[in-house]
Amino acid sequence: MIVEAGAFALVLAFALAVLQTGLAAAGRLRRSPVLAGAADGAALASAVAVALAFAALIQAFAVSDFSVANVAANSHTDKPMLYKVAAAWGSHEGSLLLWCLVLTGFGAALARARNLPFGLRTSAVAVQGLLGALFLAFAVFTSNPFERLDPVPFQGASLNPLLQDPALAFHPPFLYAGYVGFSVCFSLAVAALIEGRANAAFWPAWGRWVRPWALASWVLLTLGITLGAFWAYYELGWGGWWFWDPVENASFMPWLAGAALLHSSIVTERRGALAAWSTFLALLAFTFSMLGAFLVRSGVLTSVHAFAVDPERGMMLLAILGFAAGAAFALFAWRAPQLKGGGLFAPVSREGGLVLNNLFLTAAAATVLLGTLYPLILEAATGATISVGPPYFALTFTPLMAVALVVLPAGPFLAWKRADLRGVVQRLAVAFGLALLLAVAGWFAFEPRKILSALGIGLGAWLILGALAETAERIRLFRAPAGETLRRARGLPLAAWGMTLAHAGLGVFVLGAVVESGFRVEAARPLAVGESLQAGKWTVTLNDVRIVEGPNYLAEQGRLTVAVPGGATRQVVAERRFFPAGGQTTTEVGLDFRGLDDVYVVLGERGQTPAGQPGWSVRVWWNPWARLIFLGPAIMAAGGALSLLDRRLRLGAGARKAKAA
Amino acid sequence: MSAPSRVRGMVRTLLALLSLCVASAAWAQEPPPAPDRPLADARQEARAQALFDDIRCVVCQHEAIADSPAGIAADMRQLVREQIAAGRSDAQIRDDLVRRYGDFVLFSPPVRIGTWLLWFGPFVVLLAVAAALLAFARRRRPETAPLSAEEEARLAEILADRRDPDAKPSDD
């Protein structure tokens, strides 16, 4: 009964989204606040209907209702409750419903955004409704999660055990919230292209309106990607966290476009310039999200993360992508040349710096796009098969980003319109000198000595110190009396703190990524109980292996000791889990967190040691500074969130002022 | 815990153990991959490890042989180590693998006409966007044509009235 209600709610949501589009379009054409208000209501109702459908699906999973095909295919009665619930978004159908929930949820929020002018908001609500209608139609007609089974199976096939992990339970909601949040930027961009006259006052306001949505989506996407990378790190058991896998790339492209949009929209807001470019990026970010959905769900790519889905649904998604992006970019090509340019600026200026940022972020996104799609295109065109993996990105993406990061700390020091480069250099000299010293220190501190890694350490330090130098400058740290500094620090807008935090977080990430990839030490060999293995300075001893029973799996559980000269000796537990329901085996990595370093232990298959004793193959990694890889993006997300809070206050202040007037 | 549920628990444990045995038997039919035997020479082993990162496990989804638990990945690792021990260069080993499995086996695609766009595309995009921005900036320059004498006079008048709020250095 609840399942039927869910199925009904899903169809209703689709109908409401169509209604929303029609009402908003009519409301806009007739300039009727009544029709527009009805469209807002439909947007809210559509979101509520999808939420009800989603709740019904979760309920079906929670009670293991195997009469629902999707539950039978992805759940099992033995699973812990968290993974029963998480399985609701673990399959293609369920995750598409989550996608629709975020899409309509953001649509409802957009419909309630009272600060937008009537025309722009109504047009955006119409576009958002159309996007909702497209994806809900796809869900209803090709990927309905509520389809029943007859006869009802006695037991479910269970969720892929790799996905039965807390990080992965929470990774998709954040990822999708970010991915799909960009739909609002897309809708606002299309609406702006429809509405935007040669009106110079319009674009700064548009920049201000689009920025909170871009910021929120980018923060959520950052968290989603980081959770996913962390999951890959400790669940897949190969010691790495990013492999330039096509599906990883699919989530990274909207992130890069979103980061570019965050920066270009500042220029549009402050100076009215780059209006066409910001609109383009807003369209691009969600286009990349849709492209990602197509790549992941169509089966055209081989990836560890892809959903196994038939090509027919892939064609439908390609059609949605082609229609939405095609129409939007056609509109862009038509309207963009008519956009007024806005304020002028010298090449060396805050605007110039942000343009440079956009130049490199766009080139980086194009690199990821090329690397992801090229094997597909080449195979279709010539039949030749190639693989594009980490070595390609190390030679293309990394140098592009490295150049961008070297100039980054100067950006916030540049004045708007025209900046004094010599003054900027003087103010950053101390930070640069310190970063150089740290690069030299890095050269001596890590074995084997690597010049590129040392430079990378210097780069990470440069980003952190440069960001701090900018804040120190603003609050006149050590230059003014302490009271004056404190007063200035309190007066600094949250957005400024947010920027410092985000840029420093990027530096923290760079430090972690450089040191981990440059100096990680790996060792592997079969160990009998009582034997040890050496990885760098760490000694790992296999104490015992026993069989333990989990809720829905059986595991070989190895207990190992991690010892280091002059440090504490600690226990880690590494498991090899066997899931009878699906007949799959997964690894559960034993992680010993040592300050910034990880000692990463994987228990492999049972075999024989060279001496002929029974043993287990044990792989150990020493991943120096690995903590920073995940800490950095978390700091970046926190910076974005701080900036978002500031926006809200400012929007609120604006509204209050308007009321008083 | 009630008696029936305890019995059920035991049965479940037994069943699970049984299926573990069955699974082990299934593994036994397909011999487990030979354990990795690192090369004695540390420098040779480091070369092998570096190569492992570049070579794709040909039956896997998107994994290097360094990371894959698949049997064929272990075989390929063994092959690479043997060839290094036999004194062959990295380039020779790569060429051998490409002859056997095609370009697909390397994560760094070859640079040839068909992949020029892939390799040089990113830098072409960078230059193209930079050129477009420059062209855009140049096209807009006429808008800043020097002011006429009359305009200059008006500007001075306005500036005398109030300071241009945009002229001061920004605080953001």
Q: How far is B87 from chain A (nearest CA, A)?
A: 23
Same domain as A344, residue A227: yes
Same domain, A158 and A263: yes
> Are both A597 and A630 inside the same structural domain?
no
Sheet containing strand A521-527, strands side by side: A521-527, A614-623, A597-608, A590-594
User: Residue A366's CB: how many other CB atoms inside 10 A?
Assistant: 23
Rounded-to-10 torsion of CA A131, A135, A137, A143 = 180
Q: Say which amino acid occupies B63.
A: E
Per-residue pLDDT, B21: 41
Q: Does A471 touch chain B (CB under 8 A)?
A: no
Which residues does chain B have within 8 Å of residue A495's beta carbon, measured at their own beta carbons? 172
Residue B17 token pair: 């153990």
Say if A617 is an interface residue toward chain B (CB within 8 Å).
Answer: yes
List Cβ neighbours of A622 (8 Å cut-off, separation of 6 or more): A520, A521, A522, A535, A536, A537, A538, A597, A598, A599, A600
Tell whether A433 and A526 lie within a shared domain: no
Question: Residues B108, A353: contact at Cβ < 8 Å?
Answer: no
B96: amino acid identity, one letter = D
Report how far apart, in Å, the C-alpha atoms of A307 and of each of A370, A539, B130 are.
22, 40, 38
* CA distances to A138, A156, A340, A441 from A71, in Å: 19, 7, 54, 56
Residue B145: the pLDDT is: 54
Chain A nearest-CA residue for B141: A344
pLDDT digits 0-9 by tens, A196-214 = 765 677 888 899 899 999 9
Please determine, for residue A159, whether its predicted confidence score (pLDDT) is greater than 50.
yes
In angstroms, the Cα distances linking A242 to A227, A234, A238, A247 are: 12, 12, 11, 11
What single-letter DSSP state applies at residue A152? P
Considering only CA atoms, which of A516, A391, A376 is closest in space to residue A457?
Answer: A516
Same domain, A459 and A439: yes
Q: Which residue has the higher pLDDT, A495 or A23?
A: A23
Closest CA to A158 of A236, A94, A84, A232: A84
CA distance A578 to A548: 11
Distance of CA A402 to the CA centre of its chain: 21
Q: What band does A336 get if pLDDT is binned at 50, 70 and 90?
A: confident
Domain boundaries, position A646: 420-520+626-661
Instruction: Please give the pLDDT value at position A307.
Output: 66
Asked if the Cβ–Cβ distance from A385 to B102 is below 8 Å, we say yes
Residue A401 lies in a domain: no
* DSSP β-ladder status, A597-608 and A614-623: antiparallel
In SS3 terms, A365-434 reads as HHHHHHHHHHHHHHHHHHCCCCCCCHHHHHHCHHHHHHHHHHHHHHHHHCCCCCCCHHHHHHHHHHHHHH
Nearest in space to A603 (alpha carbons), one of A643, A548, A558, A646: A558
A62 three-state secondary structure: helix
Number of Cβ within 10 Å of residue B5's Cβ equals 9
Residue A415 covered by a domain: no
State which of A351-355, A399-403, A489-493, B23-27 shows the largest mean pLDDT: A399-403
In this structure, which amino acid lies at residue A597? D
Please give the Cα distance from A177 to A102 (Å, whole number).
6
The pLDDT value given to residue B11: 46
For residues A445 and A485, the answer to whether their CB atoms sit within 8 Å is: no
Evaluate whether A210 touches A282 at the Cβ level (below 8 Å).
Answer: yes
> In this predicted structure, what is the pLDDT of residue B35?
62
Give the residue with greater pLDDT, A463 vs A305: A463
CB contact under 8 A, A525 and B64: no
Q: Is the pLDDT of residue A402 over 70?
A: yes
Q: Which residue has the higher pLDDT, A21 or A313?
A: A21
- A534, β-bridge pairs: A539
Choose among A386, A553, A617: nearest Cβ to B109.
A386
Tens digit of pLDDT for each residue in A582-629? 778 888 899 999 989 999 999 988 888 878 888 898 999 999 999 999
A414 occurs within a structural domain: no
Distance CA A78, CA A644 (A): 42
> Smallest Cβ distance to B19: which of A359, A363, A580?
A580
Dihedral of the alpha carbons of B22, B25, B31, B34, in degrees to the nearest 10: 80
What's residue A246's pLDDT? Answer: 87
Q: Do A302 and B105 touch (CB under 8 A)?
A: no
Q: Hey, is the C-beta of A379 within 8 angstroms of any chain B C-beta?
A: no
Partners of B107 on chain A (C-beta within 8 Å) are 387-392
Confidence of residue A545 (pLDDT cuts 50, 70, 90): very high
Is residue A409 included in any domain, yes or no? no
What pLDDT sits at residue A1? 79
Distance from C-alpha of A385 to C-alpha of A383, rounded to nearest angstrom: 6
Domain definitions of chain B by residue range: 1-30, 32-105, 111-139
* Dist. CA A492–CA A324, nearest whole Å: 41
CATH code at position A597: 2.60.98
Q: Choosing among A233, A303, A387, A587, which should be mutated to test the B contact, i.e. which has the most B CBs within 10 A?
A: A387
Complex ipTM: 0.83
Residues A331-347 as b/e (b if ≥16 CB within 10 A, e otherwise) read: bbeebbeebbbbbbbee
pLDDT given at position B27: 40
**Spatial strand order in the sheet of A538-549:** A532-535, A538-549, A554-563, A570-579, A584-588
Q: Is residue A404 in a domain?
A: no
B62/A303 touch (CB, cutoff 8 Å), yes or no: yes
- Which pLDDT does position A152 carry in this prediction? 85
Query: CB B169 to CB A370 under 8 A?
Result: no
Dihedral sign, Cα of residue A80, residue A85, residue A89, residue A93: positive
Mean pLDDT of chain A: 89
What's the gap between Cα A390 and its chain centre? 19
User: What span, in angstroms and rounded, lies between the C-alpha atoms of A180 and A131?
Assistant: 10
Verify that A565 and A527 share a domain, yes or no: yes
For the segment A227-283, what is each residue's pLDDT rounded down to a tens digit? 999 988 888 777 788 989 888 899 999 999 999 999 999 988 888 888 888 999 999
Q: Kindly write down the DSSP assignment for every residue of B32-53, as one continuous string.
A: PPPPP---SSHHHHHHHHHHHH
Instruction: Mark yes or no for CB contact B62/A389 under 8 Å.
Output: yes
Backbone angles phi, psi at B38, to 5 degrees: -60, 150
Distance CA A178, CA A219 (A): 7
Supply φ then ψ for residue A619, to 5 degrees.
Answer: -115, 130
Higher model confidence: residue A522 or residue A12? A12
Report the run of H or E that residue A281 belongs to, with start and end: helix A275-298
Residue B140 to residue A363, Cβ atoms within 8 A: no
**Residue B166 scores a pLDDT above 60:** no
CB atoms within 10 A of CB A656: 10
Contact assessment for residue A217 and residue A258, using Cβ atoms and an 8 Å cutoff = yes
**Is the predicted pLDDT of residue B23 greater than 70, yes or no?**
no
**Which residues of chain A lie closer than 8 angstroms to B122, CB-CB?**
363-364, 366-367, 370, 396-397, 400
The number of CA neighbours under 13 Å toward the Cβ of A500 is: 20
Task: Return the residue in A242, A277, A386 with the most chain B beta carbons within 10 A, the one to mutate for interface testing.
Answer: A386
Answer for the pair A281, A257: CB distance below 8 angstroms, yes or no.
yes
How far apart are alpha carbons A324 and A480 in whole angstroms?
55
Q: Are A214 and A644 in contact (CB under 8 A)?
A: no
Q: Tokens in use for A572?
A: 């880690």
A260 and A301 both lie in a single domain: yes
Q: Does residue A197 form part of some domain?
A: yes
* Together in a domain, A535 and A570: yes
Tens-digit pLDDT profile for residues A215-236: 999 999 999 999 999 988 888 7
**Strand pairing partners for A547?**
A556
Say whether domain B32-105 belongs to CATH 3.30.450.40: no
Residue A406 lies in a domain: no
Q: Do B118 and A304 touch (CB under 8 A)?
A: no
Same domain, A243 and A296: yes
Rounded-to-integer distance, Cα A447 and Cα B153, Å: 69
Cα separation, A228 vs A251, in Å, equals 10
Lowest mean pLDDT among A47-61, A511-525, B19-33: B19-33
Q: Which residues pair with A545 in a beta bridge?
A: A558
Residues A634, A619 share a domain: no
Whether A356 and A368 map to the same domain: the answer is yes
Return the CA Rg of chain A.
27
Q: Scan for tokens 């989204």, then name that residue.
A: A17
Q: Which chain A residues are closer than 8 Å to B109 by Cβ?
A: 374, 386-388, 392
Domain count, chain A: 3
State the Cα–Cα distance between residues A508 and A626, nearest whole angstrom.
11
- Give yes or no: residues A497 and A618 share one domain: no
Report residue B3 CA to chain centroid gap: 54
Backbone angles phi, psi at A218, to 5 degrees: -65, -40
Angle between helices A118-142 and A2-29 (to 10 degrees): 150
Is residue A543 classed as helix, strand or coil in its secondary structure? strand
Tell me how long chain A is.
Answer: 661
Q: Would you state the pLDDT for residue B72?
A: 85
For residues B101 and B95, give the distance between their C-alpha atoms in angstroms, rounded to a whole number. Answer: 10
CB contact under 8 A, B140 and A344: yes
Is residue B1 very low, low, confident or very high in pLDDT (cuts 50, 70, 90)? very low
Please say whether the beta carbons of A327 and B98 come within 8 A. no
